[in-house]
Structure formats: C-alpha cells, structure tokens
Copies of this chain bind each other. A is one copy, B any other.
Amino acid sequence: MKRASPLFKRIAVIGLGLLGSSLAHAIRHNGLGETVVGHDADTRVMSEARSLGLCGIYAKTAAEAVSDADLVILATPVGAFSTIAEEIGPALANGAIVTDVGSVKRLAIEAVTRHMPAHAVYVPSHPVAGTEQSGPSAGFADLFENRWCILTPIEGSDPQAVARVRAFWEGCGSSIEVMDAEHHDLVLAITSHIPHLIAYNIVGTAADLEEVKRSEVIKFSAGGFRDFTRIAASDPTMWRDIFLANKDAVLEMLARFNEDLAALQRAIRWGDGDALHRLFTRTRSIRQSIIDLGQETAEPDFGRPHGAAEAEHGPESRKKARI
C-alpha cells in the first residue's frame, strides 16, 4: 500500500544484494522514500543494479551515497560494517538516521557506534527475512511482508528516531519486536545461525563421502537431504561474517545441539525406541504453531510441485502465477 507522503526524503542503501535490492523495491512499492540512492562496492553489482533500474541515483562511494540522506541502511555482510561506518561517519547529514539489516546485533553496534558523529543516530534493526538467492536480481518488494523485524535500540537513543525506523519497517509490511542486542544474538543463534551451520555441515559431509557417490546423493535427495541444500546455498560471505561475529552465542547453542544429539545417538546405539518416539512426537507440534502464526505454508512439502509438474512445468508456470 502506497503512503500519502514518504517517510523519508532520501534513503541511502549501502549494499545492493538480495536485501538491498529488496529494500529498493519495497521503498518504491510502499512509497517510503522520495529518492533511493544506491551504492555497492562491487562494480559488477552496481552495473547490474543500474540495468535493473533499482535506484533513483547511483553513488560511486558510500560517503557520496549518504550525503543529504535522512535514512541510511547498511545492507552489506556485517563484516563490512566497521569500514563503511568509518567512511560514512564524517559524511552523514545533520539528524541522519542510520540503520542496518545485520543478523548479529552486539558486534554490529560495536562496529557502527564508534564511528557515529553526535549529529546522527544509529538504530540497529534486523528484518528476519531472506531467501537462499543472492545479488541485485534476487530482490523483490514483499520480502519483508508478514515477517518480523527486530529492533535493538541503544540505550539513550532518540525515541523519535527509533519510532521512524519502526515506521519504516512497518511500511515494508513487517511486524516489530524490540529486544536488547544480546538477547537478539541468542535468539537468532538458535532460529537461524545453527540451522544454517548444520545445513552447511551435512551438505559438506555428503559431498565428501567415498562410499556414497555424489550422483546418488543428488538422485535420492528427495528423502530429506534436499531440504538442507536450500539454506546451504546461501551467500558464503554473509554467513562467514555471521559466524565470526556471533561466535559466543553460536558456540553456546551448538553445545546444546551437540549434547542433545549425543543423547539421540546413544538412544539409537542402545535401541531405546521409547526415547526416540518421545522426541519425534514432541517435535510435531512446533511446526503447527509456526503455520498457525502465518509464518509457514500449511501445504505438505512446502507446497512444492509434485509429479511431472516439478520436472516439466513447475518453476515456469509458478513464476507466471506470481506475476
């Protein structure tokens, strides 16, 4: 739904991958900013963004992009935040609001705040949304719709700036949750980072086996394995940065996962069918809760096409249906 008057005059989006390009689409689609200024450090990404017509203005540097912007969104991997913040700090306009889309908040805050001038405000945010695809052409306007965006405001931040960032994400169709950065990092470790880690891990394990051929892994992947390949196809740089930046929470949650897995392993070794059955029954209800909250499709198999449709007409006919 387009707003009567834009929330911001000039929005700078730094980083034009899946998230940045989706932001450019969502801003235009929902009328959230008069002008979008885009910048990406990768010149190939910049020319792809240009040919897609993503932004109103393309800036050669991050500093150039943020001058005169009343909202700046960092949409790069979190490992780049410190360098970008250092570069844009002196160029930020008076009263500028800086936010980001990083999956790790404690280290994002550390990296950005030290370079913030007194006349600008940093309001950390994290839209819990994405797909496994990357790059400027992967973005779409409703990526943030019906998703949660977590704000982790810094103590003493201007409440008006926080309210404007909240309004921005609500304008993208998101629901807002506010929590402190430390708790955010723990929640995301279990709901996002560990799932990605074990997905990457099992795909790696399967690829390295000698007894089972890669062609067999691929052929028989419908038995469950293919589900994991989706998030294991996510952007490598983004995910490297997340694991390095959220080390403590990831290692803590991984320890829990490993403890539980060891107990399962023991139950299998000793033939404890009751323990297995108890866990397998307990895990069923959580999916139903996710479906009930509108965060997952109720259709079997994620609603994937079945039968011949999958091989022959699936992707194409469904793409058309979406347009």
Binding site for B on A (CB under 8 A): 79, 103, 128-133, 138, 140, 142-143, 145-148, 150, 173, 177, 183, 186-188, 190-209, 211-212, 214, 216-234, 236-237, 239-241, 243-244, 247, 250-251, 253-254, 256-258, 260-261, 264-265, 268-269, 271, 273, 276-277, 279-284, 286-290, 293-308, 310-311, 314-315, 318-319, 321
Contacts and interface: CB of A to CB of B under 8 A. Distances in A.
Contacts of A219: 148, 177, 293, 295
Nearest to A261: B201
B218 A281 contact: no
A220 B188 contact: yes
B192 A145 contact: no
A192 B207 contact: no
13 contacts: A79-B273, A186-B211, A200-B264, A206-B286, A214-B289, A222-B295, A226-B290, A229-B286, A233-B284, A241-B273, A254-B265, A302-B302, A303-B304
A230 B233 contact: no
A243 B148 CA distance: 36
A301 B142 contact: no
Contact of A191 (B224, B234, B256): B224
Contacts of A227: 195, 199, 227-228, 230-231
Nearest to A246: B268
A286 B128 contact: no
A268 B293 contact: no
Given A148-B219, A191-B224, A203 B286 contact: yes
Contact of A284 (B142, B145, B232): B232
A224 B205 contact: no
A129 B222 contact: yes
Contact of A280 (B146, B223, B240): B240
A147 B231 CA distance: 22
A310 B208 CA distance: 37
A202 B261 CA distance: 8
B217 A307 contact: no
B187 A220 contact: yes
